[in-house]
Structures are given as C-alpha cells and as structure tokens.
Structure 1
Amino acid sequence: MTSTPTAPAPLLPARHDTRCPYSPPPVYTEAAGSGPVSRAELPDGTSCWLVTGYEEVRTVLSDRRFSADARRPEFPFLTVGQREIIATNPSFLRLDDPEHARLRRMVTGDFLVRRVEALRPGIQQIVDRALDRMTAEGAPADLVAHFALPVPSLVICLLLGVPYADREAFQERSRLLLTINAAKEEVARAQNELLDYLGDLATRKRDRPGDDILSRLATRDDLTPRQVATTGLLLLVAGHETTANMIGLSTALVLRHPEQAARLADPATLPGAVEELLRLLTIVHTGVPRLAVEDVELGGTPVRAGEGVIAMLSTANRDERLFGGEDRLPTDELDLGRDARRHVAFGFGVHQCLGQPLARAELQIALATLFRRLPGLRLAVPESELDFRTEAVIYGLRSLPVSW
C-alpha cells in the first residue's frame, strides 16, 4: 500500500534556474526548506519520496531496507524508458549485495588510494601536456575541449585499456546515455553500441591481455562477455564524464571568486579546497534512486515497502547544521576554507563511488596546475553566456571559453 500525497508533488527530474547555475534546481532546495522528506512525481506518473536532508540521505544510501537493484519491478527511474535499458544490463552500481559486492571487488584494487597515489606522476604529465597544447594554440580557448575533457578521458582509457583514438565515438554515446530527455530508442542504440564495442575489445584482450582493467576482467572465468562489457561501460562513462564536468564547473566557479584561488595553488590547502568544490557543486543533481523493500520511518515520515525514494546529494551537501557555522559563509556559497570532508558528493555506504580516490587526484592535480601556470586565467565571454548542460544527469558545461 502506498502513501497518498497531501500536496501537489513536483515532477522529477527538475530543471535548473540558469540565473543560479551553480545551485541545484529550485524545486529541490524548496523541498529541503519544507522538511527532509517530501513527495514528488516521476516521469511515468508514479509518486516517490524526495529525500533532501543530510542524515536522511545517508540512511537511504546505507540502510539495507533500501534497494539499489534496478531489476525490481517497482524501482524508480528518473527518465521514461530508462527501466528497460538499465534493467536489462545492470552494472554492479544497480545491484544489491552479495551480487554487487562480488562484481565490485573485481575492480576495487585498481582504485585503491595507494594505487592511485602511484599514478599521480603520470596524471601530472597528462595535465601538463594538455596545458602545453592549449597554451601553444593561444587564447581564447575552450577549456572543456582542450583540458577538462581530455585529461580524465586519457586517464580512464589508459586504466581500462581503451584506445584513446576512439574517444569521440564513446564520448558522443556516453553523453547520450546521460541525457535526461533523450529518446528511448537513441539511448538503447548508444548503450548497445558501447557494449558491443567494449565486448569486442575484451574478446581481443582475452587472447592477448595487457596490464589494464579490461584485460583482467576478460581473462576471468566467472564473468560473461556481457558482464565484462557492462562493467567496462560503467567505468568508462563515469571515469571521464564526472571528472570532466567537475574540472570545468570548478574552474568557472573559482573564476567567479578569484580571491580564493590561492587555496588551489597551496599544497597545504588544496585537498580541502577540492572537497569544498565537490560539496558545493555535487554534479549528480538528479539524485540517486532507491526502492524501499521494508517499511521504514525516515525523518519522521513513514515510507512503505514498494515505494521509490530519490536521495538528493546536492541538498544534503548544503545542510547548514553540518557545513555551516558562524565563521563560515552560508552553505550555498563557495568557501574554500570550509571543512567539507563529510560531504556525500560520491554517495555513501557500500555503493559510494569506487573511483573517488582517482577523481580526487585528478581534480587536485588539474586545478592546482591550471591556476599555478595560468595566474591570469579569466572567462573569455560574459558568465551569462556560458552554456550549461541542464539536460544531463551529470551537470556541467558544454564549453568554457577562457583567456589568460
């Protein structure tokens, strides 16, 4: 039995307000202002719970009474047609334990902190070369095309064993997969083309393996070729789209607050500054879906088994009770000196982002190098002309024209 909404429920996913491009859509912040748990409506017409409070979001993401298994018939989806596309080829991100844990463990070692620390010199070289090429071509330049996108794309290609020469094909299809209102047929075609591509690549690596993730997965006897391709697809898309968007958005936001840029150039304050950017921007603006599989009381609200729940990372990360304080700016403003270490930008619980050590390393190296080498970096167009990806599951910028 489902609960009956007592007030008009907002339709998800909500649209951004272009006047506040670095904030979550107003629907989410308004819901957070009225309480940590409220009603909302999904594109298929079903109602769900919108969870906006920090503690409540952490509960949803860590409590086994909320399922991540997208194959369940009542699982909530944020776009029409997503169900048959995701549920037919779920990655471990969309599964519960023990199946989730079994598949995740196969790639955990490649993203351990100590393994990522060993990659830092190589990431630094990639960053330096990208900046060398961009500056050699001269200003103005599109920072997304010349820096924010190539850096994480090249890194994840090297780790996975995917030819960087194929980047245009997988980037185009990746973005289609992450477009909220894309036609179901187009999304299905893009997904199948990427799975076929990665499956063929894995088959070749099974015969001639290299020192990369796809090779290690392809040579296992306990994975089907489709499972190898599905895991590869998750890592490929998440590995470049999220970090690329964070580099672009972070740069644009810091250029709005140039007085704080010195914290990115100082090794002592750099890690904390990056955590604050992750907290404030929280680029998964659409939220994380879960399904209640038992009756739960959440933030004083009864949630029934069989009801969908959308956990809003972006509003949780702006909770004044956790990230505010008399000596700090309000949580909807950038404060690179804030202690933001408890943010949930990478999720929480057993499903939290596997690649977060790599993302942190890439962001730290890319942003520190960028602002150190180009102290005169500035927008080449008025901020009002920047083109934000308001239609994407992963929020970001299509382009970022800059001069220096």
Structure 2
Amino acid sequence: MSETTTAPTELPVYMLRDGFDPAPELGALRETERVGRARSPFGIDVWVLTRHDDVRAALADSARFSNAAPVRGVPGMPKMDEATIRRMRAGNPLLVDPPEHTRLRRFLTPEFTVRRMRRLEPRIHEIVDERLDAMQRSGPPADLIAEFALPVPSLVICELLGVPPEDRAGFEHRTGRLLNMSIPVDERMRLQAESRAYMSGLVAREQREPGEAMLGMLVREHGDDLSTDELIGIANILLIAGHETTSNMLGLGTLALLRHPDQLALLRDDPDAVGPAVEELLRWLSIVHTGVVRTTTTEVEIGGTRIPAGELVVFALPAANRDPGATTDPDRLDVTRGEVGHLAFGHGVHHCLGAPLARLEMRVAYPALLRRFPGLAEVPGTAAFRSFHVVYGLTELQVTW
C-alpha cells in the first residue's frame, strides 16, 4: 500500500473511549504521569496534557501554546507550497493567534451574541418541531442520528449562514468523512478541497448579491476588510463546526439519558433543569477529544515535565473534564450539577465562538424530543460509536417509542 493511501489503524490514548467514558488508560495517565507522549493519527509524536488545571492554563496561554504553526511532515499529505498553505488556512480563527485571531473574531462575535441567538430561537423551535413531526409520521423505529440529531443543527447553521438547505446531504457527507481519521489522508485532503470549492461558490454568489444571513452580512459590512479566501475560510469552518459538534451532542447525549432514566426524567419534567443538564452533558461527554494541536513557542514546564520549544501539544479534554481535582465524583452523570467550569468549549481567546448557539439548540432539542416521545427507548444493539472521528459520537442509534 502506498504512503498516500495509508490510514491509522490504532487510536492514540487521548482518543480512546469506553462508551461514554474516556478509556482507563487515559485516566491512569492523568493520575500518574500527568503529561504523556503519544503518536497522533497523523503519524507525529505529540505531548498530551490531561489535568484540568494544566489544560485550562495552557488553553489560556496563546503566547506559549500557539495555534498558528502549521503541522509539517504529515505522512501521506500532498506537498503544498507556502501560498497554498496560506490560502487554505485563511479565515480560520482556530489556526491563528492574536492579533490576527482578534481581528477575525471581531467580525464574527456580533452574530453569536445572546441577543442574536434570541432572535434565532423561534426558528430553532420550528426546525426541531418539523423534524419531530417527520419522525412521528414515519413511525418507529427511527435512526435518531439521521432523522433528528444531524438535521437539526445542519438546518440551523444553513439558516444562520445562508447556505441552501437542499445542499445539506452533500456537506454532511463531506464533513463526516473529512473528520474521520480512519480515512486516508489524501482522501481527506481531497474532501477539504471539495469543501472549499463548494464554499467558494457560495461566497461568490453573496459577493454578487449579498443576502440577509451571515455570509451576506460579512460581504456587505466587511467586504473591504476580509479577502475572498478569508470569507471562504470563515464560512467553511462555521459550516463544519456548526453542525458536527451539536449533532453529536444531541445523539450521544440522548443515548446517555436513555441509559440514565432518572436523569432523563429530571431534564424532561423540569424546565429549570434543562440548562444545568446541558452543561453536565457537555462536561461528561466531552465529544471533542482535543481541539486544535498547539505548538510550543518556548520551553515550558508542567508538573516537572519539560516540553521543548517547537513541540506539538494536545489537550485531552475528556480526561480534564473528568479530573477529580476539578469536580466531585466526576465519572457520575448528574444533570443537577450544572457547573460551567468545564472545558468542552475550550477556554481563553479560542473559546468556542458558537457556544451560545450550541447551548440554545440543545436546550430546545432535548426537552422537545423527550416530551414528544415520553416512551423513547433505544433499540438494543444499534448504538454505533464513531471512535476514529475528530468529534466523538454515534453513526447510528435506532430508537422506538
């Protein structure tokens, strides 16, 4: 098999899961070594931070842990010149540090305020109800992922960005494979190029005739400040992150609640319990394994371990969010806990821009699903976990009611 068709067959310790839980090996690393070493799915050695306080401090320290350095020498990745690399990274706030990050974020932050989310909330309720109506008409059993968890956030991000909803199947398919680390790297690079080409067409349309959604707003109000490549990059990352993360939280979170019926009942029956329940599910599930790989800009010391400058570092979010040093009885799902100090959305300047939208979608979708189908139950043996994906979750979950 040639280098360009290889794909990882084993997961690094920071991606290992045991159902809803981080694998025991990851917990052992947190409790003993604190900082570990692992071979990433890209075939490159990385340092692994596992404790809550260490991860939180590093996430807040963009001066010493940089997002901006591109990962070099990935086995199987086609060689690209500097201009191509810059074009592919343009506009992605996750791949730059301040002050460039500050500049990009300034254009986007107004669209993700609590006030903006409140204006969007009635439409989110409509989308959720439409998907529940469709499930009810079709009758059980139904694949909760395909029929509810994936289309709800996909349709919401289409509404927010101005992406045609009829394009949903195409971008969902591309993104699902793009984030699957078991797919050979050359195939994922091809999918990345396809995603940019698709978004390039949408940006060109908005540049000709700006609409009222976010893409049109960016062109209309900031077209002189953002290059076309930046507009493409911004829209692309918002489309990908805007549906992948929330969809996996809805699917995996529902399964977690079905397997903890006492917790499910609290969320379903008490409107005041929904907000804290969402925060607990975010913490307990931690569907993003690490976020973006950072590069040390200087030598750093963590717990007696020295990490040289120029090294790659990942933050094991599931281990950090289950750290006994940060939360009492962290392995227990308790929807009344309601703590917001978790790291599921990251921390510091790169804290997830879309967190208000994700929270709103979950606060609407979970209780609506559970109240519409009070007898909701999983079909045994159908929950298929997606272990090799950058965002953890389920590929399928058959439910009945």
Which residue is equivalent to 1:6?
Answer: none
Match of 1:62 among 60, 63, 67: 60
Which residue is equivalent to 2:297?
Answer: 293
Which residue is equivalent to 1:201?
Answer: 202
- SS of the residue corresponding to residue 173 of structure 1 reads helix
Residues 306-317 of structure 1 mapped to structure 2, 5 A cutoff: 306-317=310-321
Q: Which amino acid aligns with 2:391?
A: I
> Is the alpha carbon distance of 1:287 and 1:208 closer, same or farther for their aligned partners in structure 2, counting shifts above 3 Å?
closer
Residues 37-48 of structure 1 mapped to structure 2, 5 A cutoff: 37-43=35-41, 46-48=44-46
1:315-335 deviation per Cα after TM superposition (whole angstroms, max 9, x unaligned):
1100112211xxxxx312211
Q: Is the 8 A contact 2:87 2:229 kept in 1?
A: no
* 1:224 and 2:222 correspond: no
Which residue is equivalent to 1:188?
Answer: 189
* 1:171 and 2:172 correspond: yes
Q: Is the 8 A contact 2:11 2:41 kept in 1?
A: yes
CA distance in 1, matches of 2:276, 2:87: 40
Q: Which amino acid aligns with 2:389?
A: A
CA distance in 2, matches of 1:30, 1:366: 35
Q: Is the 8 A contact 1:280 1:334 kept in 2?
A: yes
Residues matched between the structures, number: 383
1:203 shift after superposition = 1.0
1:286-325 deviation per Cα after TM superposition (whole angstroms, max 9, x unaligned):
554111101222233222211111111111100112211x
Q: Is the 8 A contact 1:218 1:225 kept in 2?
A: no
* 1:24 and 2:22 correspond: yes
CA distance in 2, matches of 1:395, 1:87: 29
CA distance in 2, matches of 1:15, 1:55: 20
Q: Which amino acid aligns with 2:282?
A: L
* 1:35 and 2:33 correspond: yes
User: Given the two structures, how large is their TM-score scaled by the length of structure 2?
Assistant: 0.90
CA distance in 2, matches of 1:183, 1:377: 37
Q: Which amino acid aligns with 2:245?
A: T
* 1:399 and 2:400 correspond: no
Larger displacement relative to structure 2 (242-251 or 288-297): 288-297
1:47 shift after superposition = 3.1
Q: Which amino acid aligns with 2:175?
A: S
Which residue is equivalent to 1:268?
Answer: 272
> Is the alpha carbon distance of 1:51 and 1:142 closer, same or farther for their aligned partners in structure 2, counting shifts above 3 Å?
same
CA distance in 2, matches of 1:281, 1:44: 24
* 1:110 and 2:114 correspond: no
* 1:322 and 2:322 correspond: no
Which residue is equivalent to 1:135?
Answer: 136
Query: RMSD across aligned C-alpha pairs, in angstroms?
Result: 2.2
Q: Is the 8 A contact 1:203 1:218 kept in 2?
A: no
CA distance in 2, matches of 1:155, 1:277: 21
- Fraction of identical pairs, as percent: 44
Q: Which amino acid aligns with 1:181?
A: S
Residues 366-377 of structure 1 mapped to structure 2, 5 A cutoff: 366-377=365-376
Residues 240-259 of structure 1 mapped to structure 2, 5 A cutoff: 240-259=243-262
- SS of the residue corresponding to residue 101 of structure 2 reads helix
1:192 shift after superposition = 1.2
Q: Is the 8 A contact 1:248 1:397 kept in 2?
A: yes
5+ residue gaps, structure 1, are 1-9, 325-329
> Is the alpha carbon distance of 1:215 and 1:82 closer, same or farther for their aligned partners in structure 2, counting shifts above 3 Å?
farther
- SS of the residue corresponding to residue 160 of structure 2 reads helix
Q: Which amino acid aligns with 1:81?
A: M
Q: Is the 8 A contact 1:131 1:147 kept in 2?
A: yes
Which residue is equivalent to 1:283?
Answer: 287
> Is the alpha carbon distance of 1:368 and 1:82 closer, same or farther for their aligned partners in structure 2, counting shifts above 3 Å?
farther
User: Given the two structures, how large is their TM-score scaled by the length of structure 1?
Assistant: 0.89
1:329-375 deviation per Cα after TM superposition (whole angstroms, max 9, x unaligned):
x3122111113210000001001110000000000100011112211
CA distance in 1, matches of 2:28, 2:289: 14
> Is the alpha carbon distance of 1:184 and 1:39 closer, same or farther for their aligned partners in structure 2, counting shifts above 3 Å?
closer
1:41 shift after superposition = 2.8
